[in-house]
Structure formats: C-alpha cells, structure tokens
Structure 1
Amino acid sequence: MEVLTASTTRLLSTLNQYTNNAFFNALPQKLPVEPCLLLQNKNAFQFGLTDAYYFSIFFIFGGGLYILLLLPFNLQQKQAMAAPLVLGLTVFPLITSSINSPLLQLVHMGACGCVLMRMIDLYYVRPWRTGKEPTMNLEDWWREVWEPFRKIPLSKEQLQRLELEQQQSRLRMELERNAAHKVEQKNKELENEKNEDAITKTTATITTAANDTHSITTNTSTTTSSTTATTASKPIAMKGKPVKQIYTPPMDPNPQHWSVYLPRWLFYAALVDVIVFCMSFIDFAQIQTFSTLGQLPVRIGVAAMVIFDISLANYTLMIIWANVTGEKIRNTEWTLVTHYFPGLATSPRVFWQQWHHLFQYIWVDLGAKPTYHFLHKYVTPKTKNKAMAKTAERILPVMGVFLMSGLMHEYMMIGMWQIRPGHMTAFFLIQGAGTIVSQILDSTIGRKVRVPDVILIAMTWIFNLTTASLFMEPVLKNQGHNLIANQSLLVHSYNFLRSNGVF
C-alpha cells in the first residue's frame, strides 16, 4: 500500500510540473450530492415523510384501486368506492415529500401519475365510452402490470375475449348508424309534410299522387331499415379469420441468457455516469448566463441523460426479471430492447414513434380514444362540413395523447418542486402539432420531393432543441440535472480525491 501511495504521489508531482495549477484551483471543492431543493421555504406546504411512509402512498391508494377491480361490485358501487382512492392518489403525492430520496421520489411521482390516469380511464372514462364495467381478473391484472415493459402474446382465452369485445363494438356502431339513419328519415318526412301543406288546393290531385308515392317510398325505407336492424342484431360471423390484434409480438426463436445484455447495461450506465458528472459542474444561474449557442450542449446533455436513463432502467428491470424467474430473455417481448435510437429520427412523427412506449397505451386510452369517441358520436353527426369533421377526428385525438403526456409531466414537476404549471403542457402540445404537420408533409410533399435523411435529421434536432427549453427550464431551474448525482461513481470519486488533496 505504501509503495502504491508513493508511486501515486511521485506521479502527481511530475504532472504538476507540466500542468497549470490554476486549472485545478478553479475546479469546485465539492460536486453536489445532496437532495436538490426539497423541503425548502418555497415548499412550505409540503411535509416530509420517511421513505417507508412516503412510498406506501402508492401501495395504499394505487393498490387499493387495482384490488377494487377484482371485487364483484356493480359500476356505480365501484365508482363511488374508487372516488376517495383516486382523490388520495392525486393529492397526497403533491403535499408530501421524501426526506432524502429525490430520485426515488421522481420515480414515485411517475408511478402515481401513471396509475392515476389509468384508474380514471378504467373507472370513469371507459364505461362512458364503451359501456363496459371496470372489471379485471388476476391474469389481466398481471398483464396490466407488465404491459409498459413487455408485450406478452395473448393467450387463447384472452384472444377469444378480445374477439368478442370487438364484435360487440362493431355491433354497437352498426346500431348507432341505424339509429342515426332513422332520425334522418324522420327529418325528411317532416320536411315533406311542411312542403305538402304549402301546396295550393288547385294541385290537389298532384298532391294526392305525390303523397301516395311518398307513402310507398316511406314503406320501402322502413322495410329496408327494419331488415338492416334485424341483420345488425345478429352476431357478426368471423368466417374463421382471426381478428386483428392490438399487438402480438413474434416469438424470438433464439432467447438469450441475461448475461448477453450485461455489456449493454454497462454501456448505458457509463454514459449516464459521464453525463451526470459533467452536468454537476454547472447550476441554473450559470446556465442562464450562457448564450443560445452555449446552452445547446446543456440541452443535448439533459436530453441524452433522459434517453440513456430510461434505457438503463429498462435493461435493469429486464435483467432482474430474468434472474428472479430463471427464464431466458426474448428481446421481441421487451419494448425498449429492440427500439431504434430516437436521435436519428427524420421527423417529429418518427421521433415519437421511436421514443419509449412505457405510458403510450395509457395516454392513448385516456387521450385519443375518448376524444375520437366524443367527436364521432356527438360532433360529426351534427356538423354540416363533414370533411372538416373527419379532419378533426384524425387530428384532435393525436393532440389528446400529447395533452395527457403534458399533464402527467406537470403532475410530476408540481409534486417534486411545486413549480407553476404550464411549461410541460406547452412543450408537448407543440410537439403534437409538429407531429401532425410532419405527417401531413410526409404524405403530400414527401411523396414528390426526396429530401436527404441528413437534412431531415438536422431539422428534427433543431425543432426538438428549440422547443426543449420549455421542457428543461423547470428541471434545470431546480437543479434537476443533479438529481441522480448521489448515484454517480465519478462524482463520489471526484469528491474523494479532491477532499484528500490528490489534486
């Protein structure tokens, strides 16, 4: 040990002869490893809890809502019992705080927001949209837990149940169309009666003939409607063809042991550690003094940290699952293992297609589907401009997905730092508009003009980094980029060497 210490001291003394000590003196004495801005004066109405009590919030309210789905109550009873649990899951993460685990608090806020949105959909929105009561069995519950991370193929019973639900949905839509057709026929009859009253007595013979003709037409239409309703009331035959499923992944013919993915885990862990170490040298006050060009590396660093952090978390979960179950990994089942790198996306639409899918199905169920259902059932039938109504049915559900994403991020930011809402919602709505515009351009101009991918990738980066200030300002302002500095090996190594006078 003495030999090693002497060698290190001799090496450092040699280096000091050829280096400028002013550089080392300018470095901070200690990099931040403490929880960032939790329980300070600005968060006075939050009260701190120990980790055990704080994280029990999720299991009490979120777990209670999941257990309630398994119980045999009717819709009104479940909605009444779910209301206080939903309220608790909404309020308690906002007024409480973890005393010394800011990173885990952020994860906890994300989990609470995810379950909160899912439960609002299952208990209140989906029954209005489909007429289906919020019920769940243990098999569906287990699938629900893993769905953000794994796309497990449907079992035979699940496939049969899915086919039945889709048949019922198609039948319901057919009955709604028939009802709308009958209303339209009645409106036409009323208009014809008004026109008949206005005809003079001198054309009584012509009027009688017209009434007879109208009666025949009405009887024919009624017979046709009756026949259509009778046909629609029968179950729709599947003709032996499987229903198009939401997603059934192909089976990986060559499953691998978890150790095969360990080098990737180490790669992402090293990237995250390096980014966190570099970002720890600056704070929000310094970032504000940077020029627009000087802030560009900061934005790229934070974006990269988010991307690699999510990938690292997914690989960690996958490796733990493989060790606990003893099974091999089929990479076709895991949502973030075979993903494309979003940094090479050629448009905002492609970027969000390649981004992680952890909460996508929740935002689609709560944002896109109810929006489309409302427009299709209540707005489009009453709109004279059908082309505009159909366009709204395609655009607004997409904006609904991005709105749900913005609201969930707002929920996390408010719970973490009690910030004024608005930045996250604005960011995701702008990204939603960019996604729609890029899709329109790709389907129109993109078919006629071939633009090199390098230019498209550069334009996508410019758009994302320009709007990223809305996303990053709440995070950087509260030193959120140093949130995981306490887990960085490089940060702790720097503080250890610095405190011992090595440099």
Structure 2
Amino acid sequence: MEALTASTTHLLSTLHKLTDNSFFNSLPPSLPVTPCVLAQKNTSQIPLPDSLYFTIFFLFGGSLYILLLLPFTLHQKRWIAAPLTLGLLLAPLIFTATNSPALQLIHVAACGCVLMRMIDLYYVRPWRTGKEPTMNLEDWWTEVWQPFRKVPMSKNQIQRYELEQQQSRLRRELEQQRSSGPVGPANRNNGDTKAESNELLNHASKNNDQESAPTASSSRSSSSSSTKGKPAKQSYMPLTDPNPQHWSVYLPRWLFYAVLMDIIPFGVSFLTFEQIESFSLIPRLLFNTAVGSMVIFDISLANYTIMIIWATVTGDLIRDTEWTMVRHYFPGFATSSAEFWRQWHHLFKYIWVDLGFKPVHHILSKYVTPKVSNRKLAKAAEMVLPVMGVFLMSGLMHEYMMVAMWHGRPGYMTAFFLLQGAGTIVSKALNNTVGQKITVPPMILIALTWAFNLSTASLFMEPVFKNQGYNMIANQSILIRVYNLLRSYGVF
C-alpha cells in the first residue's frame, strides 16, 4: 500500500512539474531564435522583391539557352553570350532577395550552375572538341531536363543510351583486365576472365540482334571496323525498366523526406551560433550530421517533387532509369569517399565533369603526358588531376554561393572539396590495392567514411554557422509556424 501511495505521489508531482508555467516560460517567444542573416544587412547589395529577383535568372540564363538554338556562327554566339554570362555572374553579387534566404539560395545555385554550363558550351567545349555550341530542339530540351531526368527521351532512345553506358563499362573492364598482369590471386585466371568477357560481349550481340535491330546494326558496323587488340563495339542490352510505376508509388518516399525536412529545421532553430560554438565534440558531430542530412533530404525532396509533378501533368508512368536520383542508394551508407560521391545527388555532376574533368584530361593527354618519359607518373597524373578538377569546380561554385549570400571570406568551400577529392582518390586507390587482399566489414568502412566526412565538415559549415544558414528554410517548416502561432496566442 505504501509503495502504491508513493508511486501515485511521484506521478502527481511529475504532472505538476510538466504543467508548471516556468517550463513554458523558458521557451523562446518565437523560432528560429536567430534567423538566417541576409547579405543585404551587412553589404551594399540592392534588395529586390522576390519575384523580380528570380526574374533576373530567367533573363540572363534563359537568353543564353535560347541563343543555342539560333543559327549564328561560333564567333557571333561568343560575342552575344559574353555580356549575358557576365550578367549571370554579377547579378547575385549586386542584388539580393528582400526577405527570403531560401529563394536567394535557389537563385544563386541556379545562376552558378547555368553560368558554369554556359562557359563550357560557348568557350571550353569548342576549344576541346572543335564543335560549335549549336542545338536542335530535341537536344535543347534534353539539356534543360538533364539535371533531373537523365534521359527525357523515347523508349528507343533510352535503350540506346543505356547500351552506350553498359558498353563503356564493359570496355573499361576489358582494358583493365588486359593491362593488369598476373600479380596475385585476383589475376591468376586473367586469361579465363578475358575469354568470359569476350564471350559475354558476343552473347550480348546476339541479344541485340533479337531485341533491337537498329542498335544491333550499329554494333555490327562498329565491330567490323574495330582494330586489332581492342574490344568489339558490342554490348549487352539492359532491360529498360519493364515495370514502370505510377507516381503514387513514390509518394511515401516524398512524405518521408518532407517530414524529415520539417523536423530537423524545427530542432536546430532553437540553437544560436554561440551555443553551437560551445558544443563539445559529440554534440558538434551530431549537429553537423543533422545539417548534412538536411542538405541531402532537401535535394531528394526537390527531385521527387519535380518527378511527381511531371508524372501528374503528363499522365506518364515513372521509369526509374530516367530519373537522376531514384535508383541511387542513400549516400550515408557509403563505404568510402569514392562511393559516397558516386551516390551523391547527381543533379549537376555532368556540369562539373564537363568543365573540370574533361578539360584537365584534354590538356594532360594532348600537351603534357606525351612529353613525360615516366609513363607511370603520366598515367597517375591523368587519373588524379582530372578528378581534382571536378572537386575544384564544385568548390568554386559553392564558394560563389557563399560569397553571394553573405560576402564572407572565401576559401572554406574550396578547401573542403579539395580535401574530399583527395579522400576520394586515396579511398579508390586503397580499394584497388589493399582492398583486394583484405576484407573489412562494411560497418567499419561506413564508420570511417562518416568520420572523414564529419572531420572535414567544419570547413563546409563555417560560413553557414556564422550566418545561421542552418535556419535558411525555417519559414517553410510547419512545426515552426505552428509553434509561433501558438506562442503568439498565449496557448503556452
């Protein structure tokens, strides 16, 4: 009886504490505690209404895209594109949104991506390939959709695209097998592996004859012209998503990301920069994880939103081979830095590859490595430097975003992405050497990847922390709006 009385007394005491107004009085009157800082408060940027601010992007970026369709010469297009490219570069640095940090971030990111793409199409690619930046309507439409849909094409075009991708992969595997010597158990049956690979290619050619006459014809004509010692241009015909889904199938994933994108901003909006700076190691790592996850979930939510809207408007089914992010695994489960970036959002990867990897590789292969007597050093340079070029382009674009948003001191983003590039190269090299001899449990590799990413995240987070950038999308959070509404009416 005494135990029951004591438990009842304790329960009543707990309820009394929960209903005590002192707890609610300790809560902040509104969220976020420290709203995201806009650059206009600290600089001479000209504030514009949100609608007019975003119109600038369509004015310069849209004009550059339309210029691709016009029948001008390369010289004329370059002269016309120059002031438009300069305007796209300077617009986010001169103007700012009135009161919407999220819109400003979208605008700056869009300007940065289109800017890099236009520099490549009008100035870098003609120098590298000798082709003029001319497009027809079909190529232009593909270009516009490319960040979100890998192949906005017909079924036959999708099949041809996937054939090319599979063919390239098989060629790389054959080249690696032929260039590697019998140095260990992995290469002990190298001759058998070559025979199996060639047999796979020949078998694939037969499948192509049965399933796709135009593609098979192309493969036969290519294989007849193949030179000695090189694989025939025959490839496996992959299935083209035989079971496309209605958009409602992907709605649970959209809801999952939407809920997380409401809960995380609500939690971090209670924190100030000073509190975050005073965190010990574990709370700081947890906060970095939360903000990093918020970036991943936000990009995923945007991609699924666009995909569902497209399917709803067109009435077409969703083929996961077409969409950029649907088939990729969550990067948080990556077992190395190289795998992490392979699984990353892929929205603008082609921009950085075209402007970072390909030009660097072109310069090295044409002007540098042929003059280097040490072939191993030359081959290593052709593998390493183009990859670092990709991460340099990504770092410069993020640097541009941070400067346009807050006019902070540059350098943090570039340093972060160059470190990540070095980590990617090292992890890939370790996987191709030590990883072939030693088996490490995936959980340990995932933990090591997280440790590397979080240890370098302070560089990425520095300008975001100082300007409360983690509260950038707080106005879109339903929980924050409900909290502020209830507090304003004195409910608690």
Same fold (TM > 0.5): yes
Residue equivalent to 1:298: 287
1:40 deviates by 4.2
For 1:94 and 1:419, how far apart are their aligned partners in 2? Answer: 12
For 2:267 and 2:161, how far apart are their aligned partners in 1? Answer: 52
Matched AA of 1:89: L
1:149 deviates by 1.1
Residue equivalent to 2:6: none
Q: 1:486 to 1:74 in 2, by over 3 A?
A: same
For 2:260 and 2:380, how far apart are their aligned partners in 1? Answer: 43
Q: Conserved in 2, the CA contact under 8 Å of 1:39 and 1:47? A: no
Residue equivalent to 1:55: 54
Matched AA of 1:307: I
Q: After superposition, give the CA deviation of every residue in 1:318-366 in whole Å (9 maximum; x if it has no partner).
A: 1111111111111221111121011111110111111110010110000
The answer for unaligned runs of 5 or more in structure 2 is: 1-12, 164-219, 226-231
Residue equivalent to 2:242: 253
1:422 deviates by 0.6
Residue equivalent to 1:500: 489
For 1:458 and 1:297, how far apart are their aligned partners in 2? Answer: 14
The answer for unaligned runs of 5 or more in structure 1 is: 1-12, 164-235
1:373 deviates by 0.3
Q: Conserved in 2, the CA contact under 8 Å of 1:345 and 1:460? A: yes
For 2:102 and 2:224, how far apart are their aligned partners in 1? Answer: 51
2:405 to 397, 416, 420: 416
Residue equivalent to 2:192: none
Q: Conserved in 2, the CA contact under 8 Å of 1:117 and 1:366? A: yes
1:161 deviates by 12
In the alignment, is residue 238 of structure 1 matched against residue 222 of structure 2? yes
Residue equivalent to 1:145: 144
Matched AA of 1:111: A
Q: Conserved in 1, the CA contact under 8 Å of 2:61 and 2:111? A: yes
In the alignment, is residue 379 of structure 1 matched against residue 368 of structure 2? yes
In the alignment, is residue 440 of structure 1 matched against residue 424 of structure 2? no
For 2:282 and 2:454, how far apart are their aligned partners in 1? Answer: 11
Look up the SS of the partner of 2:96 in the other structure.
Answer: strand
Q: Conserved in 1, the CA contact under 8 Å of 2:159 and 2:237? A: no
Q: 1:237 to 1:249 in 2, by over 3 A?
A: closer
For 2:157 and 2:222, how far apart are their aligned partners in 1? Answer: 16
Residue equivalent to 1:476: 465
In the alignment, is residue 43 of structure 1 matched against residue 43 of structure 2? yes
Residue equivalent to 1:32: 32
For 1:362 and 1:401, how far apart are their aligned partners in 2? Answer: 9
Q: 1:429 to 1:72 in 2, by over 3 A?
A: same
In the alignment, is residue 282 of structure 1 matched against residue 271 of structure 2? yes
1:90 deviates by 0.5
1:292 deviates by 2.1
Q: After superposition, give the CA deviation of every residue in 1:374-408 in whole Å (9 maximum; x if it has no partner).
A: 00111012222222111100100000000111111
Matched AA of 2:321: T
Residue equivalent to 1:360: 349
Look up the SS of the partner of 1:133 in the other structure.
Answer: coil
Q: CA RMSD in A?
A: 2.7
Matched AA of 1:422: G
Q: 1:30 to 1:48 in 2, by over 3 A?
A: same
Taking structure 2 as the reference length, the TM-score comes to 0.80
Residue equivalent to 1:320: 309
5 Å matches for 1:74-153?
Answer: 74-152=73-151
For 2:305 and 2:358, how far apart are their aligned partners in 1? Answer: 32
1:33 deviates by 8.5
For 1:331 and 1:450, how far apart are their aligned partners in 2? Answer: 32
For 1:151 and 1:249, how far apart are their aligned partners in 2? Answer: 16
Look up the SS of the partner of 2:47 in the other structure.
Answer: strand
Matched AA of 2:294: M
In the alignment, is residue 466 of structure 1 matched against residue 465 of structure 2? no
Q: Conserved in 1, the CA contact under 8 Å of 2:33 and 2:271? A: no
For 1:410 and 1:428, how far apart are their aligned partners in 2? Answer: 10
Q: 1:488 to 1:312 in 2, by over 3 A?
A: same
Q: 1:160 to 1:470 in 2, by over 3 A?
A: closer
In the alignment of these two chains, the number of paired residues is 418
Q: 1:160 to 1:469 in 2, by over 3 A?
A: closer
Q: Conserved in 2, the CA contact under 8 Å of 1:426 and 1:470? A: yes
From the CA coordinates, give the structure whose radius of gyration is larger.
Answer: 1
For 2:449 and 2:110, how far apart are their aligned partners in 1? Answer: 30
For 1:238 and 1:391, how far apart are their aligned partners in 2? Answer: 30
Q: After superposition, give the CA deviation of every residue in 1:269-294 in whole Å (9 maximum; x if it has no partner).
A: 11110000000000112111112222
Residue equivalent to 1:171: none
Q: Conserved in 2, the CA contact under 8 Å of 1:105 and 1:416? A: yes
5 Å matches for 1:443-454?
Answer: 443-454=432-443
Q: 1:244 to 1:150 in 2, by over 3 A?
A: farther
Q: 1:498 to 1:47 in 2, by over 3 A?
A: same
1:259 deviates by 1.6
1:28 deviates by 0.8
Taking structure 1 as the reference length, the TM-score comes to 0.78
Look up the SS of the partner of 1:132 in the other structure.
Answer: coil
For 1:305 and 1:497, how far apart are their aligned partners in 2? Answer: 25
Residue equivalent to 2:392: 403
Q: 1:162 to 1:498 in 2, by over 3 A?
A: closer
Q: Conserved in 2, the CA contact under 8 Å of 1:269 and 1:312? A: yes
Q: After superposition, give the CA deviation of every residue in 1:200-233 in whole Å (9 maximum; x if it has no partner).
A: xxxxxxxxxxxxxxxxxxxxxxxxxxxxxxxxxx
Q: Conserved in 2, the CA contact under 8 Å of 1:35 and 1:483? A: yes
Q: After superposition, give the CA deviation of every residue in 1:135-184 in whole Å (9 maximum; x if it has no partner).
A: 11110010011111112276678999999xxxxxxxxxxxxxxxxxxxxx
1:429 deviates by 0.3
Q: Conserved in 2, the CA contact under 8 Å of 1:106 and 1:416? A: yes
Matched AA of 2:67: L
Q: Conserved in 1, the CA contact under 8 Å of 2:34 and 2:269? A: no
Q: After superposition, give the CA deviation of every residue in 1:428-475 in whole Å (9 maximum; x if it has no partner).
A: 000000000000000001111111111111110000000000001111
For 1:33 and 1:146, how far apart are their aligned partners in 2? Answer: 38
1:41 deviates by 4.1
Q: Conserved in 2, the CA contact under 8 Å of 1:279 and 1:481? A: yes
Residue equivalent to 2:340: 351
Q: Conserved in 2, the CA contact under 8 Å of 1:33 and 1:486? A: no
For 1:250 and 1:335, how far apart are their aligned partners in 2? Answer: 17
Q: Conserved in 2, the CA contact under 8 Å of 1:249 and 1:333? A: no
**Identical residues among aligned pairs (%):** 66
1:32 deviates by 2.3
Look up the SS of the partner of 1:48 in the other structure.
Answer: strand
2:256 to 267, 271, 278: 267
Q: Conserved in 1, the CA contact under 8 Å of 2:50 and 2:103? A: no
Q: Conserved in 1, the CA contact under 8 Å of 2:61 and 2:88? A: yes
Matched AA of 2:347: L
